[in-house]
């Protein structure tokens, strides 16, 4: 993780004073043991990296002053759709997905999903996992979280969709991936797509099934592999 990097969703303008939120302030004081006058970095998840000095540390707050800021353009969209997962496995996917350049994760209610949804506390936890990964990985754009009510809703957008297919006759990802076109990646839930959902996908002209591995992968493992392949394709362009 970049040394002494913190997060705030606020606008980071040169000369402005930023009050860190409680979790970040606690980390600065008790874990990193920063002191007044120290130089630190701060990201807002919207492409800005701020360089700041610590102006004030108190029991209730930490105040930083922005002395310089850099803007990093938004990366190309890398959108992943996946069936609802249990929290532990979702945490892993969010962490690794952010590292691998995920820009949006769509959590889809599918026919084989048993989880009913997410509480506000669980959504907050997801955001905290993404923020920690954002800081650790040195990225500057915080991925979005989108709750999608059905597979049909996810398929509405007219972009290339690549979905994980267990049929070994399906092509490998790199054989069919069109780097020049907008795309979305899709993985089924832990129990996989139903036959009805597979039929729906294969009827879509913009959807292509790809064979990811000759092993039986957990949903989050398949998703991380998918994101890694897309990330590597960006590097090869």
In this prediction, residue 15 carries a pLDDT of 96
For domain 79-236, the CATH architecture is 3-Layer(aba) Sandwich (3.40)
Q: What is the pLDDT of residue 117?
A: 84
What was the pLDDT predicted at 213? 95
Spell out the SS3 assignment of the chain: CCCCEEECCCCCCCCCEEECCHHHHHHHHHHCCCCCCCEEEEECCECEEEEEEEEEECCCCEEEEEEEEEECCCCCCCEEEEECCCHHHHHHHHHHHHHCCCCEEEEECCCCCCCCCCCHHHHHHHHHHHHHHHHHHCCCECCEEEEECCHHHHCCCCCEEEEECCCCCCCCHHHHCCCCCCEEEEECCCCCCCHHHHHHHHHCCCEEEECCCCCCCCHHHHHHHHHHHHHHHHHHC
| CB-based contact 112:216 (threshold 8 Å) | no
Output the pLDDT for position 73: 97
Task: Give the Cα separation of 93 and 221 in Å (integer).
Answer: 8
* Main-chain dihedrals φ then ψ at residue 10, nearest 5 degrees: -75, 165
Q: What percent of the chain has pLDDT over 70?
A: 99
Residue 235's pLDDT is 86
5-71: CATH superfamily: Hypothetical PUA domain-like; domain 1 (2.40.240.20)
Sheet-wide strand order for 144-148 = 144-148, 104-108, 79-83, 183-187, 160-164, 207-210
pLDDT confidence of residue 233: 92
CATH fold match for the domains 5-71 and 79-236: no
Domain extents in the chain:
5-71, 79-236
With beta carbons less than 8 A apart as the criterion, state whether 108 and 84 touch: yes
pTM equals 0.93
What is the residue-level pLDDT of the chain in tens, covering all 237 positions?
A: 577 899 999 999 999 999 999 999 999 999 999 999 999 999 999 999 999 999 999 988 899 999 999 999 999 999 999 999 999 999 999 999 999 999 999 999 999 987 778 999 999 999 999 999 999 999 999 999 999 999 999 999 889 999 999 999 999 999 999 989 999 999 999 999 999 999 999 999 999 999 999 999 999 999 999 999 999 998 887
**Closest CA relative to residue 223, chosen from 186, 192, 194:** 186
């Amino acid at each position: 993780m970049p040394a002494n990097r913190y997060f705030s969703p606020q606008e980071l303008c040169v000369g402005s004073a930023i009050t860190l939120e409680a979790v970040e302030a606690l980390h600065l004081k008790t874990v990193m043991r920063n002191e007044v006058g120290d130089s630190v970095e701060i990201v807002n998840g919207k492409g800005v990296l701020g360089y700041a000095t610590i102006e004030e540390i108190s029991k209730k707050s930490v105040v930083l002053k922005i002395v310089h800021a850099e803007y990093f353009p938004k990366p190309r969209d890398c959108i992943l759709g996946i069936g609802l997962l249990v929290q532990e496995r979702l945490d892993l996917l969010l962490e690794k997905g952010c590292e691998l350049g995920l820009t949006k994760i769509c959590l889809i209610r599918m026919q084989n999903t048993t989880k009913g949804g997410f509480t506000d506390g669980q959504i907050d936890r997801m955001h905290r996992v993404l923020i920690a990964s954002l800081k650790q990985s040195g990225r500057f754009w915080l991925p979005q979280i989108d709750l999608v009510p059905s597979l049909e809703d996810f398929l509405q957008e007219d972009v290339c969709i690549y979905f994980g297919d267990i049929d070994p006759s399906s092509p490998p990802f790199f054989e069919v991936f069109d780097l020049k076109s907008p795309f979305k990646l899709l993985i089924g839930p832990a129990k996989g797509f139903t036959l009805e959902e597979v039929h729906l996908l294969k009827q879509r002209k913009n959807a292509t099934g790809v064979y990811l591995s000759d092993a039986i992968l957990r949903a989050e493992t398949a998703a991380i592999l998918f994101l890694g392949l897309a990330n590597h394709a960006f590097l090869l362009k």
